[in-house]
Structure 1
Amino acid sequence: MGHTHDHDHSHAVGGTADQPVLDMSIPDSELSPAEVSRRGFLRSAGLLGAGTAAAAAGAFAVPEVAMAHDHGPLGRSWAGHSRVNDLLWLAGDHHIHTQHSSDGQYRVVDHVRHANAYGLDWMVITDHGSVAHAKIGVDKVNPDIVAARKEIDDTLVFQGLEWNIPAAEHGTVFVHPGRNEVAVLKEFENTFDGVVKNATDPTPANEALAISGIDFLADAVTKRRVHDALFLANHPARKGIDSPHEIRAWRDANPRIAVGFEGAPGHQAGGIAAPVGPGSGRGGYDNSPSAASFPAYPLESYRTWGGFDWMTATVGGLWDSLLAEGKPWWITANSDSHKVYLDNSKVGGGDFTTNGRYDDPVYAGSFAAGNSDFWPGFYSRTHVGSADFSYAAVMAGLRAGRVWVDHGGLISGLDVRVRAGGSWVTLGDTLVVRRGTPVQLVVAIDLANGPNWAQFVPKLARVDVIRGAVTGPVSDKDAFSTPGTRVAKSFDVNQSTGRVTLSYDLGRVDGPFYLRLRGTDGNRTAPGYLGAAVDPAGPAMDVLGSADPWTDLWFYTNPIWVVPNR
């Protein structure tokens, strides 16, 4: 599936190949001559300090990146998937519940079959952390996952869990499949789950327990108990209890494990007026502040904006304040599927506390009122640039930030590059250039090439380029805005089929900055939360009980950084 090369390219800083270079615990004497040269370049550029890995907290931490090669236009390769930049772009979902969750009902294989039918290449089973799940549920779901892997071998099925983060909300934790996947997940949940350990209150001790959980996962990888492990925070603004300093602490504790949060939550059918019910919110975001909530969050943060979490949807908001530190923190989108909208099955019964699961679902005879979810792949997708079709490659792509997300099949393919002369990088990467070098953004978008699962062909109306300066680590760990980040350029899209190519001159580089992209069908927009000068036409705040997800579609990308080396 790969290509051979007889020519050289300049590449971004970081990536799997650069890990020995970035690991300052490895002396120069143990590196190859090429790696010693690479490390010397990073030092001279001010991007690698003595004793400090580039991924650690610092003045400017360089994100991990892909080794990208140019092979012309978007290609098609393995099983009809897009191969761009020598990468397979694999669609997936990291937040899915089964009958092993106290509020779920479907079998593992039900979700996997639907995900496969709706085009997903990878997925994570994340049943809720609980006393019953920690005791027996982790063990009991594993044979179902193993069986589904064998039955449907063209969808990668990870085992994970939804972590009740001590002092905070929920998060996805998952590991690479292997002989210790159950043991590591079980030990993690029994030792660090907020519900299991009665550690849900927002106290310093409980916040420290969350950090210990991230450290445990890192140690499990270091000691090779599991090949890899990742953590992403789920629905971070839903209840207002994920404070900015907690999110920063998770990220800084180990950026190889704690890599991001849901830019868009699941439960996307929740805003439909009926039969979900009046007053319900898209994404389940229909809450109000509580005693545990971070008090500085505004009331608007408890709602989705165009189906996206307020932390992501706000230009110049919390996500941008993290990116402006120059540190990797990625967004995803998923289904959080528990009970599917307009599905006519119901929980099969059984003693969940005793058995760690419900019986198989049964026919209900009518649609269940209140169901607010879609099947995995039906609406939300996280697209990951992967070196190949494997568990390891998907996890590496997520860690590197080679990710874009969409709702409702708004577009079918995306290639984003920032280039300077013959050098270029893609999503999650950092382009290092001489000060004063002119830099250009080039984007290729494959428009929707057929009807989505709601049986219409979406129309992309506009693409926005969002740009912000890198200002370094913040003194206030609870900062959730950053000055200067704004929509720098908007492109109207005036065609409905084929490929759209956009280019934008970013000027001569005189300081570090980042950029990210956003696209919309244009059906529902409003000035952004921080005002029209920052975001003239961003997503509008979703209305409780009246937010049809199919009439308000967006895509978002993860960022690219540009850094002058002198």
Structure 2
Amino acid sequence: MRYSKSIIAAAASVVVALGFYGCGGSDDAPATPASPSSPSQPSNPTNPTTPTDPVKPAATGRWTTGDLHMHTIESDDAQNKLSTVLDQTFDKFGLDWTAITNHLRTSSRDQDGATIAGGPLAYSQAMATYEIPAVKQLQANGRYANKLIFSAFEWDMPTHDHVNVGIFTGSPLATATKAANEFEYFFTNRNAALFDPVDVSAWSAKGARTFSTHADAVKAFAWLRDNYPDTSYALINHPSRNVGMYTAANYREFNDTAPNIAFGVEGMVGNQMEPNRGGYTAAYVDANLKNRVYGGVDYVVAQVGGIWDALLGDGRRFWNVADSDHHFKVIGSNSSGYYPGEYAKTYVWLENKYTGVKAVLEGMRSGKMFSVFGDLINALDFNAANGANKSEMGGELKVKAGETVTVTIRFKSPDRNNFEYPLDSGMNVNVRPTVNHVDLIAGDVTPRAAAGTADYSKETNDSTKVIATFTSTDWKLDADGYNTMTFTYKATKSQYFRLRGTNLGMNVPGETSNGNPLPDLQTSVTEDTARFNAINARNYNDLWFYSNPIFVTVGS
């Protein structure tokens, strides 16, 4: 385990918060640029060039921070009551919005941890009866003003792993509690006696319950598509945590079934306070390298040219997010996950024309998002332009063959992050997170793989490479306080571009190799307090951010 003595020794005591609105509820070492001779690079690229300060466009929206995956004591494996988690999420760590995503199992406790009389309840019922009214009351009492809080759930997908599902209805959009109840009836093995018999009779007329096979999992995505096509989402959590849960064909099939709903993966996983970072406990053997995290990031996203790149190479609009997966932080001899906003943040651009849940839904679907560990950065402007035409994360720039494309990258870092030593002591280490380098990654976009073909199961994109690496010698500070750099090339083929950045050098023993993150090892310190501090130091010494891609499509 590698420690920074200056970081461990330092102690002192700003969480950057972004404004928001609304309330929730329910209804029914230095590196050099990559060699231009790389065969997968865009044709005729230049070295990183000295940027010019960009012209400021009129703002149509604003950046917000949120968390799509966290638990309260209504999940039987979580330990913090609702108000405790929300206090930390908003009052201490300054998120703008959060989804409460307790397990879609049975719930035996209410929002404060009291045993439910006559329980346990199907979670969808507990959510409607206890969780959502409690959130409304807290906000009516003046808590979490101008914060958006909504309820979703974490579903045990048959034959696979966990999926965060949000279903909304009404105007303004709010959690569709009756729909969640129906979803739980059809797509879990809950005892039918846990549901209203009148509902069970009506639902039974629609068809059989399906909760056992892969085909049943696909039916659930189809059910969301058919019933809530524009007002639901289903994002795959910690995808590689357990061996054999997914194939590349599975991801493609889910996305093909419901592209407006199954549009993302939690690549920057939660449970970062686990000794096995992220709770990825598969045996530490070479056969399980695909079931590790790399700098805390799931293999699906961390592997350059891996499954995420294979999906992007299909032209799929498939995005990455970061979450806390908070159940508790430290209890007795066990540690699990940070509070929402403490370590992981997903930044989502919300357009001013939308409000509330609708704004978050549209923002997520747009792909204009980036995800960060340890507040390595707190602002990112990443775009590709051809003259006056410009596209940002999640978007598409259309150009003609031979036209010049300029990729611009601008980022900021905060003065400090939330690293405390000792853990939870209130003593902030007070060291500014510093980006060592930023990688610009590109891959080809080719015709979409068809179901039933070999390419549909292919889990690599062989064209994907790091095409340029930028360090502080390559960027300059612009008038707005952004570190700014550009990359220019002549377009010859359709490609996508994405970013990753880190505080680590290119070849840090045990951490990086040629700039790529190495698999995280288990923290095995025996004494509890020392282990908790070692885990926390491990995490804050190993920071990353990942952007969503920009597509550049070349036409005639």
TM-score (norm: length of structure 2): 0.73
1:114 is paired with a residue of what secondary structure?
helix
Give the Cα–Cα distance (whole angstroms) in 2 for the partners of residues 524 and 149 of structure 1.
Answer: 47
Deviations 1:509-542 (A, max 9, x none): 111100100000015856999x97xxx3111210
In structure 2, how many angstroms separate the alpha carbons of the residues matched to 1:496 and 1:126?
A: 41
Deviations 1:72-130, CA, capped at 9 Å, x for gaps: 459xxxxxxxxx85231111100011111010122222222211121211111111111
Change (3 A) 1:462 1:216: same
Distance change in 2, residues 1:511/1:195 (3 Å): farther
Select between 449-458 and 96-105 the one with higher mean Cα deviation: 449-458
> CA separation in 1, counterparts of 2:392 and 2:189?
37
2:215 aligns with 208
Aligned AA (1:319):
W
CA offset at residue 135 of structure 1? 6.4
Structure 1 partner of 2:350: 386
Asked whether the equivalents of residues 71 and 85 of structure 1 are also in contact (C-alpha less than 8 Å), the reply is no
Q: Name the counterpart of 2:132.
A: 142
**Pair 1:161 & 2:153 matched:** yes
TM-superposed deviation, 1:288: 4.1
Query: Equivalent residue for 1:510?
Result: 492
Contact 1:466 1:485 in 2 (8 A): yes
Give the corresponding residue for 2:518: 540
Query: Which whole-Å CA distance do the structure 2 matches of 1:420 and 1:413 have between them?
Result: 23
For 1:397, what is the secondary structure of its paired residue?
helix
State whether structure 2 residue 474 is matched by structure 1 residue 471.
Answer: no
What is the aligned counterpart of 1:372 among 331, 336, 339? 336
Measured after TM superposition, the shift of residue 383 of structure 1 is 0.4
Q: Where does 1:168-247 land on structure 2 (aligned, <5 Å)? A: 168-176=160-168, 178=170, 181-193=176-188, 206-222=213-229, 228-240=231-243, 241-247=245-251
Number of corresponding residues:
434
Contact residue 452 and residue 458 of structure 1 kept, 8 A: no
Q: Which residue of 1 aligns with 2:35?
A: none
Alpha-carbon offset, residue 287 of structure 1: 1.5
Contact persistence 2:476–2:483 (CA under 8 A):
no
**How many Å separate the matches in 1 of 2:468 and 2:228?**
42
Task: Return 5+ residue gaps in structure 1 as ranges.
Answer: 1-69, 75-83, 198-202, 272-280, 291-296, 342-366
Contact 1:447 1:500 in 2 (8 A): no
Match of 1:261 in 2: 265
Residue 322 of structure 2 is aligned with which of 333, 341, 352? 333
| CA distance in structure 2 between the aligned counterparts of 1:299 and 1:145, rounded to whole angstroms | 41
Contact 1:443 1:503 in 2 (8 A): yes
Tell me what 1:301 maps to. Answer: 290
Distance across 2 between alignment mates of 1:102 and 1:207: 26
Give distance in 1, aligned partners of 2:351 and 2:363. 8
Q: How does 1:352-501 map to 2 (within 5 A)?
A: 368-388=332-352, 390-454=356-420, 455=428, 456-474=431-449, 475-476=453-454, 477-493=456-472, 498-501=481-484
Greater relative contact order structure (CA < 8 Å, 6+ sep): 2
Q: Distance in 1 between matches of 2:334 and 2:191?
A: 28
Paired amino acid for 2:302 = A
Using the TM superposition, give the Cα deviation of residue 243 of structure 1 relative to its aligned residue in structure 2, in angstroms. Answer: 2.1
Note if contact 1:522-1:552 (Cα within 8 Å) is conserved in structure 2: yes
1:221 deviates by 2.3
CA contact (8 A) 1:138 1:186 kept: no
- Contact 1:101–1:133 (CA<8 Å) still a contact in 2? no
CA distance in 1, matches of 2:189, 2:282: 21
In structure 1, what is the Cα distance between the partners aligned to 2:157 and 2:284? 18
Identity of aligned residues (%): 29
Answer yes or no: is the 8 Å Cα contact 1:414–1:445 preserved in 2: yes
* Aligned partner letter, 1:228: T
The answer to whether structure 1 residue 129 and structure 2 residue 129 are counterparts is no
Q: Distance in 2 between matches of 1:528 and 1:72?
A: 42
List per-residue Cα deviations over 1:232-275 (Å, max 9, x = no partner).
0000000031222211111111111111111111011113xxxx
What SS class does the counterpart of residue 432 from structure 2 fall into? coil
Partner of 1:96: 70
2: CA distance, partners of 1:517 / 1:564? 21
Q: Which residue does the alignment assign to 1:522?
A: 504
The Cα shift of 1:411 comes to 0.9
Q: Residue 384 of structure 2 contacts residue 390 of structure 2 at CA under 8 Å; is this kept in 1? A: yes
